[in-house]
Structure 1
Amino acid sequence: MSNIVDTLKLGRDALAEAMNLHIYDAANGETPGPKCRYQAAVLALDSAVTPPVKSRDRQFYTPLEMEAALCAWEFLLDHENLPEEKRVPAIAGAFGSMGYAAMRHVSMQAGAIALAVHDHMETNDYEHDGGSYDWDFVPSVLVKLDWLHLVQDNQYSGEPYRPDIPTLFELVLADLGDQITKRDRAAEWMAKARRECHKQWGYAELIDDHEERTRVAFEAKQDPAEFVRLLGEKYDLEPAGLAW
């Protein structure tokens, strides 16, 4: 599970399936009554895993979201100590008008946005391997946010602030291009498979002899070590430790 929300979703779906298939016959129209504790638990889990309209209404944050919030808060505090000419006016204005208590809550929402950008980066096979998450990546996201909209959403009844995450990432990529690299998952997989060929069968070029099988295994996200083991066994190769 990537985080606690995924775990709760899994538990919610399992409970709903058990309730509808084994406790009640939902297929034949049987439904739980208003006092059914299983239905109450499903509804409670629905509420827990459904993001509220307002960030401030959330009941819990994941450890990674808390880390991102703390990074955002550190950035805001450091930003306050910068010379005026180096400050981002929108951020300085928000801090000056809202104060510390309110901005701590704003930093939680800002951190969650920064984390979403980071997750988007990794999902698209990029790595931030040339700088630090707290002092480079998170600040790069934060200075690109609409702070007026963010504060109005977080502290007042303004419209929900939902910036476009892919667009934010493109801006961060332009800003931190020398720190962010594109992963070549195919090359990584092939390199691991080649090492396994040598380790298991003493023949690193095994995958070169079976390019189509190897391509299919990679695209199916098969474990390289398992693929190499099965490939060697298919062709009755002698294990490396037994080869003469």
Structure 2
Amino acid sequence: MPASRKQYTHLEMEAALCVWEWINDVTLDDTPQNLKEWVELREGVGSVELRHQSIVLGKWCLKIYDALTKQDRDFFDSMSYDWEVIPMMMRYANDPAGVPAIYKESLPDPSAIAQLVAREVLFKHYVWDCEREAEKQWKYRDLVFDHDDVIERAFEDGDDPAAVINDLGEELELIKF
């Protein structure tokens, strides 16, 4: 192989492919996950350029992933890398004006984005804990989604999921099972 050709690791290629899948999901067809800003970007720079920049974006996502799994290798446990983790990171691939960024120099600092992604992951786990409690205490798993504002506030306040669900059920005069 000529020295001028770049070589990529298996992880870099996997990340790039997952990014490319996400880009296609949000730019092709008129689906609920269609993101107008990304569609406009694709129309402006073209599919070939976006596919090429998936490598840059994949490497950026890996930096975020590495920062979040440095202390806890299982940080993203129970989450699908390609359908949950990469999309979560890609939602933050914007320049300071909020426009989708695809070039290395315009992408936000991975460390700053890692903090935002960490909050999302922790909230997702909190919701899962609340769902388990709602099912256990009230046999009403959707209690969490029916009162998402309460759950969001409780998460921000650091409240125990079991106590939050108990208090919410009692306030609504639900019957315990």
TM-score (norm 1): 0.43
The structure with higher relative contact order (CA 8 Å, sep 6+) is 2
List gaps (5 residues or longer) in structure 1.
1-47, 49-56, 155-159, 182-244
Q: Which runs of structure 2 are paired with 1:105-120 in the superposition (5 Å)?
A: 105-120=52-67
Query: Where does 1:46-85 land on structure 2 (aligned, <5 Å)?
Result: 59-81=6-28, 83=30
Counterparts in 2 of 1:30-41, with a 5 A limit?
none
CA contact (8 A) 2:28 2:39 kept: no
2:108 equivalent in structure 1: 163
**Number of positions where the alignment pairs a residue of Structure 1 with one of Structure 2:** 120
Runs of 4+ off more than 4 Å: 178-181
Q: 1:125 to 1:66 in 2, by over 3 A?
A: same
Instruction: Identify if the C-alpha distance between structure 1 residues 81 and 137 changes in structure 2 by more than 3 Å, giving closer, same or farther.
Output: same
Aligned to 2:118: 173
**1:79-94 → structure 2 map (5 Å cutoff):** 79-81=26-28, 83=30, 86-94=33-41
Q: Which residue of 2 aligns with 1:150?
A: 101
| Larger-gyration structure (1/2) | 1
One of 84, 101, 104 as aligned partner of 1:136:
84
Q: Deviations over 1:185-211 (max 9, x none)?
A: xxxxxxxxxxxxxxxxxxxxxxxxxxx
Gap regions ≥5 residues in structure 2: 127-177
Q: CA deviation at 1:85?
A: 6.1
Contact 2:41-2:100 within 8 A present in 1 as well: no
Match of 1:220 in 2: none
Distance 1:161 1:105, change over 3 A: same
Question: Contact 1:130–1:180 at 8 Å: present in 2 too?
Answer: no
CA distance in 2, matches of 1:61, 1:133: 19
Give the aligned residue type for 1:138.
I
Identity, in percent, stands at 28
Among 75, 95, 110, the alignment partner of 2:42 is: 95
The within-5 A match list for 1:209-220 is none
What root-mean-square deviation, in Å, do the aligned CA atoms of Structure 1 and Structure 2 show?
Answer: 2.8
CA–CA distance in structure 1, aligned partners of residues 46 and 80 of structure 2: 28
